[in-house]
Structure 1
Amino acid sequence: MDYKALGQRVRELRKSMKLSQEKLAELCNISSTYIGVIERGEKKLSVDALVRIANVLDVSVDFLLVDSLAKKEDSSFNRATTILKSLSSEVDINFISDWMELFQSYTKTK
């Protein structure tokens, strides 16, 4: 298990949601020190903590545990998913959806 990669994923998701370590810890009902340790990959975390963090970050546990040596396409998908989850308004989401549909139709014509 690559705890540093897991911690990095937690940190990236937390930041994309504009949460501090303290706020994430509060929402997960665990200590902020423990969140820091997890994000740095310094300690194994409990299944309970992993589930709490996944729930607050609105991702599945398997998303957090995905192999750190992901294929390039998987990595791109994960980045896109993180960006989409960080969008703050329906207008942003609709804009991105429209853009993606336009891009998809463009690539089909080539």
Structure 2
Amino acid sequence: MKNVDYAEIGARIRTARLMQKLTQEEASERCDITTSYYGNIERGDKKMSVETLIKVAKGLNISTDELLFGDAADEWTEADEFLKEVQRTVDQEYFTKYLAVMKAIASIIHKL
């Protein structure tokens, strides 16, 4: 069995945070852990309990599977590239409307 690579998990956590344009302080608040501990987790300096892993996953709206195994990394990149392409090809007003629709859909999905 392969050892747990906490640096790799921390890198995935950092990527998820940056994709959401959050500071470490904002992310740690969402995850209900201290900023110092959160930073240690991102760097892979500290091990975390299953409870903390779940807090981080919930706080960043990412599955524990994605944090542990990185299965959705390509999907995050694809989504990011798609949004960048939309932003490059439309004016700011259209892009703002586009984001509003996406947020409304996300809100509906979270209620399901």
Place the TM-score, normalised by the shorter chain, in its bin.
Answer: 0.5 to 0.7
Greater RCO (Cα-Cα under 8 Å, separation 6 or more)? 1
Q: Secondary structure at the match of 2:45?
A: coil
Name the % identity: 34
Supply the AA of the counterpart residue of 2:8.
Answer: A
1:29 alignment counterpart: 32
Structure 1 residue ranges, 4+ long, deviating more than 2 angstroms after superposition = 74-81, 86-90
* C-alpha distance 55-90 of structure 1, shift in aligned 2 (>3 A): farther
2:98 alignment counterpart: 91
* C-alpha distance 16-3 of structure 1, shift in aligned 2 (>3 A): same
How many residues of Structure 1 are paired with residues of Structure 2 in the alignment?
88
Q: Secondary structure at the match of 1:44?
A: coil
Supply the AA of the counterpart residue of 1:21.
Answer: Q
Where structure 2 has 5 or more consecutive residues not aligned to the other structure, the ranges are: 85-94, 102-112
Where structure 1 has 5 or more consecutive residues not aligned to the other structure, the ranges are: 95-110
1:63 alignment counterpart: 66
Aligned with 1:41 (options 44, 54, 57): 44
Supply the AA of the counterpart residue of 2:47.
Answer: K
2:109 alignment counterpart: none
TM-score by length of 2: 0.64
TM-score by length of 1: 0.65
Aligned CA RMSD, in angstroms, stands at 3.0
Aligned mates of 1:39, 1:20 — CA distance in 2:
12
1:76 alignment counterpart: 74
Deviation (angstroms), 1:92: 4.9
